[in-house]
Amino acid sequence: MEIIEKIPKEIKEKIFLYCRHNNAQLILDAFIKNKLILKYIPKYKSAHHIWYDLRPSRIGSDVYGGNGMYIKRYKIEIMERMLLFG
């Protein structure tokens, strides 16, 4: 429960809205097949505070989630990778 509380409010709303959607099973199927990945978060298309909160260097990992379900982030910018892996 603590992990969910750390996620920004806007992200939580979108996740819970989608989980109530009829196609939410797609997420579960993708996770089971190990295809649930996040390739890129465009800085110019997202709110600055959301982009900032989701930076791998800020959360200290390139994996989002927990309790058995997670999203692996790929295509991390070079500067973020340097900050994360130091």
Q: How far apart are CA 51 and CA 80, in angstroms?
A: 12
Looking at residue 26, its pLDDT comes to 76
The pTM assigned to this predicted structure is: 0.48
Domain count, the chain: 1
Q: What is the pLDDT along the chain (86 residues), one digit of tens a residue?
A: 456 677 777 777 777 776 666 666 777 777 778 777 776 677 777 777 777 887 888 888 888 776 677 777 878 888 888 888 87
Containing domain of residue 48, as a range?
Answer: 2-85
Token pair belonging to 21: 């959607």
Q: How far apart are CA 52 and CA 75, in angstroms?
A: 16
- Which whole-number Å values give the CA distances from 42 to 22, 50, 52, 60, 73, in the listed order? 27, 11, 11, 19, 13
Cα angle 57, 62, 64 (rounded to 5 degrees) comes to 110
